[in-house]
A and B are shown apart, each in its own frame.
Chain A
Amino acid sequence: MTGLQLVNGLASLLIVTSLLVIEARGAAQSALYYALQSLVLVLVFLALAATVDAPRLFAWAAIAFVTKVVLVPAIMYRTLGRMSDPTLAPRRFGLAWTIIFAAAVVAVCFAVVSAIHLPGAATLKPALAISLAHFFLGLTCIVIQRNLLKQVFGFCLMENGSHLTLALMANQAPELVEIGLVTDAIFAVVVMVIIATMIRAKLQTLDVGQLTSLRG
């Protein structure tokens, strides 16, 4: 099983973990699943580093591990874990629909990626498609979930997807890019958490539908 197959396999594992994050009941569970997914992402980085002998990716993996696997889930767990909103209406879309939808997204992404002529990452096309799909999964998480916290996780999935794309296509980039990417992720999460807590405190609800008073 060559390194490439390993990378593509891990990428497919990513899709599964993101589905878990989407469907997780409570915020704490989602945080754990997110940590898991980040771990998988790190593994992808390591595999990629090995197969494409890009020494910088090791540094990427290390940084990603520190932040995404440890730091961000810790923050989310500690702050969002306590918050829950009993009045939250049940999800409109069933689990089945979500999976089918995810599959459709992946298929579309494969079609799109295969059409594009990419000199550098010809061999990594499936991973690239997965990362693109992953990005759209994050988007679907934001759109279909009513819970405010899920929006945060949706954002994190999108961020991981784009991170993966970056790693695949620009693996020679210096660590600085990685640091930038990661700090961006951390700060985004911190800000969103703060906003979530403030909304929770002020409006006593986490249902996104209630927040229409914000419109202009």
Chain B
Amino acid sequence: MPLGLFALSIGLYTVSAVASLAVSERTGGRIAAIGAVLGALAGMGAAAPVLADGQAVAVTLAGPFPFASFALRLDGLAALMVATIALVSAAAALFGITYAQEEYAGRGVGVMGFFMNLFVAAMMMVAVADNALWFIVFFELMSLASFFLVTFEQDAEAIGAGWLYFVIAHAGSMLVLIAFLLLFAVTGSLDFAAFRGAAVPASTASIVFLLALFGFGAKAGMIPLHVWLPRAHPAAPSHASALLSGVMVKIGAFGIIRVGVEFLGARVLWWGLLVLAFGAVSTLLGVAYALMQHDLKRLLAYHTVENIGIILMGIGIGMVGIASGQSSLAVIGFLAALYHLVNHAVFKSLLFLGAGAVITRIGSKDMGRMGGLLRAMPWTAVAFLIGALAICALPPLNGFVSEWFTYQSLFIAALHGSALVRLAAPLSAVMLGIAGALAAMCFVKAFGVTFAGEARSEPAKAATEVSWPMLAGMGLLAASCILLGIGAPIMAPLVGGVASSLVGGSTTAVADGVLVFPGDPAIGELSTPLIAILLIGLAGVPLLITALFAARRPRRRSSAVWACGYLPDAQMHVSAGGFAEPIRVLFRPLYGVRSRAARGLAAAADRFAAVPGGAARAEELWDRLLLAPIGRGVQAAGEQLQVLQGGDFRVYCLYIVAALIVLLAVVTV
């Protein structure tokens, strides 16, 4: 049944994609959106049963290629991915109905719908593919569709970003291809089923893991390979960048889990530690660079790098758990990673949709030109605030729950781990803590400078609330943010089930009634519903106090902002750069890393500039050294022979007779 529904969902996406090309722009955009929403529902319907009972469903068809069968497998992990993709795609489609029409009218809305739906369908297929060839095909199809979304603006900056993005994505998929082919050389078959049980020799296993880590890391936006992310995501239309940031980077993390854990069994300890290290570095540097941004969408893009770092930390701890035989630690690690994967997909896409709504009204991505939108666009502001609270992992929302589990997994690893782990885990926890604080500061800046304070530009003053479908899209995600947060006791066991299926079926209790705990309640308990109720209840105390004295107080009035007696003007307002200036001063070594890397790249670039010149010289070298001498030699020989052909046919008759005589002589001899 689930695979039937899944096929229906993919069918809906692809049919609506193609249909949106055929019809006029306005209806095309609408068809694509409706197709996407229905497809999403079908996708969630397919994923739900598998998530609930954890029974993997698989089917193998004989595809056109004899060496690779078309195999699909909807297991726990894939179901979680499909559900997340479906949720975010539904919200993006809802948002896109009017957003595409307002922002990109006349510039191929139908084509955008086509690529959006194709992109989502490809992602779902990647999650479910169970054969190396088809995995790579859909992996690249995903990059291809998103390339056209990133370059949709067709200006120089978008094209440059698109180029960088697709090249790194293609290089990444080539690394993954090498990894699969190494496994293919060992097992002789391209099916993942064969890969899972493969007895891979230790050395090739490490090579395959490293290839997969960097191949999928490039797609996920891990620090050394993240350069494309802050340029590509802002360039795409907002509901597309919501999908890009929210879900596509997760395919990278999903890939690392598939290869590292399912195929290679995460046997080696240093694998887990390496992933943990990359995760921690990505978290810290990601948020540090995010703080420095003026462009709202670039800021959010850098935060994707940070949150991917957090997910990788969870995966790293999970792999450490498996390698050191602590299955409960492994389950908690993967639970943290997968839960954060879902949460990040939800709140990051909410933030991008919010940013998109603001940018349609302001017309530019620069935060300096915004401000005063809290009153002008209240609903968007509230949604963006919920997203900001969630991403800063503030209780009781979903970001806090998954980060709490990450902390707990780091704690358990530090408690029982080997020497190296007991050092690495606390350091990672500290880096996660710093990142948390910087993230809070960054989103205070983002929300404050964008929405709060005075309107700092004409469009900001004239801004009005966005249309209802966009609000519906954001509302859906905001609601799921809250539900995933407060509903942790319901959600945690589901994700825990998927995590334990990764670790080999050992069930670890993660939730009981309203409480949620990392395997053993003694280590630590959390109850987000309780916190939510208490927060609302305790808010009553200050309300009660002010109400007591309300009678004697004159009505509230408003006046100009106090500026030491001067008339307040817009320049006085804190700017995006000014707000983050202390961090740039105090954390200078952190920013040194990027400038050194930029200098290295510049040096490489101008070395590359010499290549075309050299190649052009090499090209005509062939003609000069090889062909010209042959040509001249043949020409000279020709001149000598020319004498024979003097033009006097009398001489020719002599030649004939001479030849006759010679032949007669030869014959007779």
Using a CB–CB distance below 8 Å, which chain A residues touch chain B? Answer: 139, 142-143, 145, 151, 208-209, 211-216
Give CA–CA (A209, B646) in the complex, Å.
Answer: 10
Between A and B, how many residue pairs show CB distances below 8 Å?
30
Chain B residues, Cβ within 8 Å of A145: 650
B 635-669 to A, binary, CB cutoff 8 A, 1 in contact else 0: 00000001001111111011001000000000000
- Whether A214 pairs with B647 at a CB distance below 8 angstroms is yes
- Whether B653 pairs with A211 at a CB distance below 8 angstroms is no
- Whether A212 pairs with B650 at a CB distance below 8 angstroms is no
Closest chain-A Cβ to B36's Cβ sits at a distance in Å of: 75
- Whether B647 pairs with A143 at a CB distance below 8 angstroms is no
- Whether A212 pairs with B647 at a CB distance below 8 angstroms is yes
- Whether A215 pairs with B650 at a CB distance below 8 angstroms is no
Give CA–CA (A211, B650) in the complex, Å.
Answer: 11
Give CA–CA (A216, B654) in the complex, Å.
Answer: 18
Q: CB < 8 Å: which of B645, B649, B654 contacts A211?
A: B649
Taking CB as reference atom, which chain B residue is nearest A209? B648
- Whether A215 pairs with B653 at a CB distance below 8 angstroms is no
Give CA–CA (A111, B654) in the complex, Å.
Answer: 21
Taking CB as reference atom, which chain B residue is nearest A143? B650
Chain B residues, Cβ within 8 Å of A212: 646-648
Chain A residues, Cβ within 8 Å of B646: 212, 215
Q: CB < 8 Å: which of A139, A211, A216 contacts B648?
A: A211
Chain A residues, Cβ within 8 Å of B651: 143
- Whether B654 pairs with A143 at a CB distance below 8 angstroms is yes
- Whether B649 pairs with A143 at a CB distance below 8 angstroms is no
- Whether B650 pairs with A151 at a CB distance below 8 angstroms is yes
- Whether A208 pairs with B648 at a CB distance below 8 angstroms is yes
Taking CB as reference atom, which chain B residue is nearest A211? B647
Other than the given A139-B654, A139-B657, 8 more pairs (CB < 8 A) read: A139-B653, A142-B650, A143-B653, A151-B650, A208-B648, A208-B649, A208-B650, A211-B647
Chain B residues, Cβ within 8 Å of A216: 645
Using a CB–CB distance below 8 Å, which chain B residues touch chain A? Answer: 642, 645-651, 653-654, 657
List 5 interface pairs A-B (beta carbons < 8 Å), by A numbering. Answer: A142-B650, A209-B648, A211-B647, A215-B647, A216-B645
Taking CB as reference atom, which chain A residue is nearest B668? A116
Chain A residues, Cβ within 8 Å of B654: 139, 143
Chain A residues, Cβ within 8 Å of B649: 151, 208, 211, 214
Give CA–CA (A215, B651) in the complex, Å.
Answer: 12
- Whether A142 pairs with B647 at a CB distance below 8 angstroms is no
Chain A residues, Cβ within 8 Å of B642: 215
Give CA–CA (A50, B645) in the complex, Å.
Answer: 48
Give CA–CA (A214, B657) in the complex, Å.
Answer: 21
Chain A residues, Cβ within 8 Å of B647: 211-215
Give CA–CA (A145, B648) in the complex, Å.
Answer: 12
Taking CB as reference atom, which chain B residue is nearest A144? B650
Chain B residues, Cβ within 8 Å of A213: 647
Closest chain-B Cβ to A205's Cβ sits at a distance in Å of: 14
Chain B residues, Cβ within 8 Å of A211: 647-649
Q: A142-B650, A143-B650, A208-B650 are in contact. Are A215 and B657 (CB under 8 A)?
A: no
Closest chain-A Cβ to B446's Cβ sits at a distance in Å of: 85
Give CA–CA (A2, B653) in the complex, Å.
Answer: 38
Closest chain-A Cβ to B74's Cβ sits at a distance in Å of: 78
Closest chain-A Cβ to B664's Cβ sits at a distance in Å of: 11
Give CA–CA (A123, B646) in the complex, Å.
Answer: 43
Give CA–CA (A212, B657) in the complex, Å.
Answer: 21
Closest chain-A Cβ to B343's Cβ sits at a distance in Å of: 86
Closest chain-B Cβ to A85's Cβ sits at a distance in Å of: 16
Taking CB as reference atom, which chain A residue is nearest B653? A142
Taking CB as reference atom, which chain A residue is nearest B657? A139
Taking CB as reference atom, which chain B residue is nearest A155? B653
Taking CB as reference atom, which chain A residue is nearest B645? A215
Closest chain-A Cβ to B262's Cβ sits at a distance in Å of: 76
Chain B residues, Cβ within 8 Å of A215: 642, 645-647
Give CA–CA (A145, B649) in the complex, Å.
Answer: 12
Chain A residues, Cβ within 8 Å of B657: 139
Closest chain-B Cβ to A77's Cβ sits at a distance in Å of: 24
Taking CB as reference atom, which chain B residue is nearest A214? B647
Closest chain-B Cβ to A207's Cβ sits at a distance in Å of: 11
Closest chain-B Cβ to A140's Cβ sits at a distance in Å of: 10
Closest chain-B Cβ to A136's Cβ sits at a distance in Å of: 8
Taking CB as reference atom, which chain A residue is nearest B654? A143
Give CA–CA (A124, B442) in the complex, Å.
Answer: 125
Taking CB as reference atom, which chain A residue is nearest B644? A215
Chain B residues, Cβ within 8 Å of A143: 650-651, 653-654
Closest chain-B Cβ to A111's Cβ sits at a distance in Å of: 15
Chain A residues, Cβ within 8 Å of B645: 215-216
Q: Which of B642, B648, B651, B654 gathers most chain A CB within 10 Å?
A: B648
Give CA–CA (A25, B653) in the complex, Å.
Answer: 23
Closest chain-A Cβ to B302's Cβ sits at a distance in Å of: 76
Give CA–CA (A211, B642) in the complex, Å.
Answer: 16
Closest chain-A Cβ to B377's Cβ sits at a distance in Å of: 88
Give CA–CA (A45, B174) in the complex, Å.
Answer: 93
Give CA–CA (A216, B649) in the complex, Å.
Answer: 12
Closest chain-A Cβ to B249's Cβ sits at a distance in Å of: 73
Chain B residues, Cβ within 8 Å of A151: 649-650
Closest chain-B Cβ to A112's Cβ sits at a distance in Å of: 11
Q: Which of A142, A209, A214 gathers most chain B CB within 10 Å?
A: A142
Taking CB as reference atom, which chain B residue is nearest A216? B645
Taking CB as reference atom, which chain B residue is nearest A145? B650
Closest chain-A Cβ to B574's Cβ sits at a distance in Å of: 91
Give CA–CA (A216, B508) in the complex, Å.
Answer: 96
Chain A residues, Cβ within 8 Å of B648: 208-209, 211-212
Q: Which of B646, B650, B654 gathers most chain A CB within 10 Å?
A: B650
Give CA–CA (A193, B434) in the complex, Å.
Answer: 110
Closest chain-A Cβ to B658's Cβ sits at a distance in Å of: 11
Closest chain-A Cβ to B652's Cβ sits at a distance in Å of: 10
Taking CB as reference atom, which chain A residue is nearest B648? A208
Taking CB as reference atom, which chain A residue is nearest B647? A212
Give CA–CA (A39, B651) in the complex, Å.
Answer: 30
Chain B residues, Cβ within 8 Å of A208: 648-650
Give CA–CA (A139, B653) in the complex, Å.
Answer: 8
Give CA–CA (A143, B658) in the complex, Å.
Answer: 13
Chain B residues, Cβ within 8 Å of A142: 650, 653
Closest chain-A Cβ to B650's Cβ sits at a distance in Å of: 5
Give CA–CA (A151, B649) in the complex, Å.
Answer: 10
Chain B residues, Cβ within 8 Å of A214: 647, 649
Closest 6 CB pairs of A and B: A212-B647, A215-B647, A143-B650, A215-B645, A142-B650, A142-B653
Closest chain-B Cβ to A168's Cβ sits at a distance in Å of: 18
Give CA–CA (A214, B645) in the complex, Å.
Answer: 10
Closest chain-A Cβ to B336's Cβ sits at a distance in Å of: 88
Closest chain-B Cβ to A203's Cβ sits at a distance in Å of: 13
Closest chain-B Cβ to A170's Cβ sits at a distance in Å of: 18
Give CA–CA (A216, B647) in the complex, Å.
Answer: 8
Closest chain-A Cβ to B355's Cβ sits at a distance in Å of: 79
Closest chain-A Cβ to B638's Cβ sits at a distance in Å of: 11
Give CA–CA (A209, B651) in the complex, Å.
Answer: 11
